[in-house]
Structure 1
């Protein structure tokens, strides 16, 4: 039986139907991920199901005594409360007992009578284990110490999201509805959260673009597409496969409907005004066919690879960078020479100094000491977390035309601003919509597009995946795989990082940066091995302990961890295998031609020269294939 049900929901926004007569149900133990393109109505649907927004038509019903909690992208609080009051504001007797207990224990002047009273309350509501869970949640989300006393009105956007997440997790509702729960969380916290939410006892509905998170937490995927829902029992990989099959079937059906519509349209035009019963049935069928024929047919996709500005030998040279704010050192003695086609993932806890480093590289911030020397041909494209600024009267296409009316692609061809917008999921009708009417995700997509069409050769993306839908992420990944310049990515999306980066810069305490070859998963596996090694080491003897004679044993050299191939290296390895097969075939053909003795003198010379070039290619590519084979 459904804990939460929706029947015949309809919602119109900005003169457009997001969905009509939509039905939805959520049963005990279901962990559902809602996916769809930006602007399809995902957030609106969540808010309606959570009872925060009324539908235009339809009804949402929740079973008796079922508690529903909602985490929005932009949490709303009572700004007069502090963090602790906000987290424990729920009308929950157990939480109230914990709150009173913590107040009394932390008050140095508490009386024994007060202590006895709150301890009895903790016993009454069996709150001791729950208190330990609350402390774990607050600790994992970094909500400790002075932050608990801070007014929520003084919190940053990331802190507000963490406080809201802590509140819904502590409430332990029967149904949890989460809208982009991983935004503003660092990677370690995301991994903790996905382990917590993957509980079989949890009933969950969420919107997320994090594909690793989605794969681990969700046991069902619901796609919202053109106002209809499509359910898929399985993980993200299963969804991708079945969605492609569904779209192929729909394309066939739409084509059939359009062909039939042409014939029926002629029949409709020939009919007199007075119609019989049989004619009426055929007329009704005509309107059904007309509706089907309006369906979308997925056309061939343009390969997105814009031309990059020519890059010289010198890109950026960084020497002994140092930066601190107050007494906190965020960057200490960092040096690096950037090379062509560097693909770097920058990681570290929130507040570690990632944005500080990026701002120093781009000249937006001056280091306390050290030098950032950029080459004359280096052109930055910097996508930041700040929101898109626009004039309320501007339309979508105006925002793009401010940068370029025509975009030159890597192959020398040109596309118009309108064609480029279409590739980023802005159909022609939407291109003339006011920017103010776009959803948050659509605005972020437009902002990203503006950065990409400036032809940068050094691209910096600071949390580019926030609020973007999975379709846009796939388009962006394809673009970045073909990008010929340098790339630095800051992202909490592990799938995105694994697909694109070949080197990790990890910010560590004290402002140090560890440079690690490999992608994010490689780094995390190495880090786990290091942690396991540290845990396995025997504790150091104290000064007072008597020395114990231990027979000397030969020290075993630590085995070097085998590096795994990055996503790009795997693709290169597969491509090289095919190329080597083709070159071997070509070599054999050339040898046969030379041995046949049928060619002219000039042809024989050409074949011999081509054979020499082929041998050189085989040697070069064969060496690279062998090098990659060690990691793949």
Structure 2
């Protein structure tokens, strides 16, 4: 069933054309992602779909009566009301029924109100939805429902807006960078939620694992043209490569034909026949095709840097805490040359505070931090570039220097540097405030790197960067010889870049894990499986010490069939966890093909769904046994 049809839309701001003559459709239960470079109009397309903006030409036809929810990158919320009031402002009638029921529970003496609320819950069959509503709030860590929105961080506001979008139960959910400001646990939960729910999605995201595991169609806006790929991210990569290879073949043929026709044109007399004129017109068309150049500029990062000395950075029994929130507790660590450290942990566990301690922006409450004399920090913060009114892109770089030193004694002008960061000469004279969010982040990254840091700190560097820029940034960082510390929720990025992790558990506990994020997840899952196995063995041992399984069954409240099913479930969950770990490790094979990734992703999702299903049943029987 078609929900939305987009026909020939275009959008421009002054002389700057974002896109023109785009057409596509969105059908029920499709999970579509839009991929394009920053500044090509991705967010504008989402705004047009959501009805917040209008195209200059063309039209958007929406199926009558469908409900659309839109999660913006920077949602606008009423700061004067509470989290709870924000959530219950939803258009979802069932959510309003739940709200009335919870109010009735707060006033048990008003039996009439309670009876009406209870009957409404029954009439709308709202009990299951109430459970789901509470699960969504819990998973997104929205526990303080009485907090005023104006007191919350940008990340907390984004999570409120996401909860609203999910609870609205829309026919079409439009998402602009949904994983920004979510920690890794939340992202994985959201992946599973979208994979499990029969929901229609249209999204823009840079999270490539999210694209791989959630989407079943990808639209690519490239050089002003829209290409459709009926598959996930692995399928997209494979078919995009094939398309570009075919384009190269066609371009070569056009060039050969152009040379032939050019020779014919030069030999033609001035007096031409009608047939010749037709061929001349064809020649000009061939010429245009032959002279096409793909604008596949890549960010080339060959920045020079000062050599690291023998002493890098050392923590000696460092203590740091805020009221009721310990961050570090007698923490000691010495950084080595070429260190490649990733930092993960839930929001509020102290990751950004740790980075500020590294750079001297924060001071420890106890202990000592010593920094080597040759250390030059480059700190890419979440706040991004500070925009000055009326400042142009080129002026931002010239404030730092007119020429930038490169390797082997070479240098680069400010204009050339910006071109390497995908800012052409015309774009360099645009005002910074007119840049898209992703373009601003790209410019900010440029200003950090041109200072030649030998100790690079990146706090959520992947937010708002397009997939093309991310691939180039990863290539640079793989060759970066200095020390590197990365905080990121982008699992694909972390897997490629870091060698070990600091896992912030909260309460001042930091674990040093030797491996990347996928290694860590595999370890965590296997540890959870082992804990279940130990508990099962302990239960079996305890059970054996008792007289007879029939008497034990009577005491536990389980029938013989339930006891048998319980033991069988434990074994099946253990086997599934082992299979899941094997599949996750298979992703790390450098020889794995895109087809194998796609097949493996489907198998992994099926296995995870089975684990969830059997674990839920295992918990049900456990609860029954305790009665």
| TM over 0.5, shorter chain | yes
Q: Give the counterpart of 1:237 among 224, 234, 254.
A: 234
SS at match of 1:538: helix
SS at match of 1:305: coil
Q: Residues 87 and 565 (structure 1 numbering): CA distance in 2 closer, same or farther, change over 3 Å? A: closer
The question of whether the paired residues in 2 share the 8 Å contact of 1:498 and 1:567 is answered with no
User: Over residues 558-596 of structure 1, what are the superposed CA-to-partner deviations in whole Å (9 max), with x where a residue is unaligned?
Assistant: xxx99x99999979xxxxxxxxxxxxxxxxxxxxxxxxx
Unaligned 5+ residue runs, structure 2?
548-580, 592-627
Q: Give the counterpart of 1:368 among 360, 365, 370.
A: 365
Q: Shift of the alpha carbon at 1:73?
A: 0.3
User: Over residues 387-410 of structure 1, what are the superposed CA-to-partner deviations in whole Å (9 max), with x where a residue is unaligned?
Assistant: 311333322222222223333334
1:78-477 equivalences in 2 (<5 Å):
78-105=78-105, 107=106, 110-144=109-143, 147-199=144-196, 201-254=198-251, 281=278, 285=282, 288-289=285-286, 292=289, 295-297=292-294, 304-477=301-474
Q: Shift of the alpha carbon at 1:375?
A: 0.6
The question of whether the paired residues in 2 share the 8 Å contact of 1:498 and 1:566 is answered with no
1:35 aligns with: 35
The question of whether the paired residues in 2 share the 8 Å contact of 1:424 and 1:475 is answered with no
SS at match of 1:341: coil
Q: Residues 25 and 568 (structure 1 numbering): CA distance in 2 closer, same or farther, change over 3 Å? A: closer
Q: Residues 233 and 128 (structure 1 numbering): CA distance in 2 closer, same or farther, change over 3 Å? A: same
Q: Residues 488 and 464 (structure 1 numbering): CA distance in 2 closer, same or farther, change over 3 Å? A: same
The CA distance in 2 between the partners of 1:264 and 1:362, in whole Å, is 62
Q: Residues 381 and 283 (structure 1 numbering): CA distance in 2 closer, same or farther, change over 3 Å? A: same
The question of whether the paired residues in 2 share the 8 Å contact of 1:342 and 1:487 is answered with yes
The CA distance in 1 between the partners of 2:496 and 2:505, in whole Å, is 23
Aligned-pair RMSD on alpha carbons?
Answer: 3.3
Q: Shift of the alpha carbon at 1:8?
A: 0.9
Q: Shift of the alpha carbon at 1:464?
A: 0.2
The CA distance in 2 between the partners of 1:341 and 1:267, in whole Å, is 60
The question of whether the paired residues in 2 share the 8 Å contact of 1:316 and 1:337 is answered with yes
The CA distance in 2 between the partners of 1:92 and 1:549, in whole Å, is 53
User: Over residues 260-301 of structure 1, what are the superposed CA-to-partner deviations in whole Å (9 max), with x where a residue is unaligned?
Assistant: 6786799699999x9986577556546645654564335686
When the two structures are superposed, what TM-score results if normalisation uses the length of structure 1?
0.81
Q: Shift of the alpha carbon at 1:109?
A: 5.7
Q: Shift of the alpha carbon at 1:333?
A: 1.5
The CA distance in 1 between the partners of 2:198 and 2:30, in whole Å, is 9
SS at match of 1:148: coil
The question of whether the paired residues in 2 share the 8 Å contact of 1:73 and 1:180 is answered with yes
The question of whether the paired residues in 2 share the 8 Å contact of 1:499 and 1:567 is answered with no
Larger radius of gyration: 1
Unaligned 5+ residue runs, structure 1?
551-560, 572-632
Q: Shift of the alpha carbon at 1:310?
A: 1.0
When the two structures are superposed, what TM-score results if normalisation uses the length of structure 2?
0.81
SS at match of 2:363: coil
User: Over residues 111-170 of structure 1, what are the superposed CA-to-partner deviations in whole Å (9 max), with x where a residue is unaligned?
Assistant: 2222211111100100000100000000000111xx312222322110110001001111
The question of whether the paired residues in 2 share the 8 Å contact of 1:305 and 1:482 is answered with no
My pick for the range that moved more, 386-395 or 490-499, is 386-395
Q: Shift of the alpha carbon at 1:528?
A: 1.7
The CA distance in 1 between the partners of 2:485 and 2:588, in whole Å, is 15
SS at match of 2:145: helix
The CA distance in 2 between the partners of 1:54 and 1:298, in whole Å, is 28
The CA distance in 1 between the partners of 2:266 and 2:82, in whole Å, is 68
The CA distance in 2 between the partners of 1:40 and 1:268, in whole Å, is 40
SS at match of 1:23: strand
1:488 lines up with 2:485 in the alignment? yes
Q: Shift of the alpha carbon at 1:90?
A: 2.2
The question of whether the paired residues in 2 share the 8 Å contact of 1:251 and 1:297 is answered with no
The CA distance in 2 between the partners of 1:271 and 1:112, in whole Å, is 101
SS at match of 1:198: helix
1:574 aligns with: none
Q: Residues 378 and 219 (structure 1 numbering): CA distance in 2 closer, same or farther, change over 3 Å? A: same
The CA distance in 2 between the partners of 1:191 and 1:370, in whole Å, is 36
The CA distance in 1 between the partners of 2:193 and 2:216, in whole Å, is 15
Q: Shift of the alpha carbon at 1:415?
A: 3.2
Q: Residues 152 and 286 (structure 1 numbering): CA distance in 2 closer, same or farther, change over 3 Å? A: farther
Q: Residues 125 and 510 (structure 1 numbering): CA distance in 2 closer, same or farther, change over 3 Å? A: same
My pick for the range that moved more, 276-285 or 92-101, is 276-285
Q: Residues 424 and 249 (structure 1 numbering): CA distance in 2 closer, same or farther, change over 3 Å? A: farther
The CA distance in 2 between the partners of 1:200 and 1:281, in whole Å, is 57
The CA distance in 2 between the partners of 1:320 and 1:267, in whole Å, is 81
SS at match of 1:104: helix
SS at match of 1:4: strand
Q: Shift of the alpha carbon at 1:421?
A: 2.3
The question of whether the paired residues in 1 share the 8 Å contact of 2:298 and 2:421 is answered with no
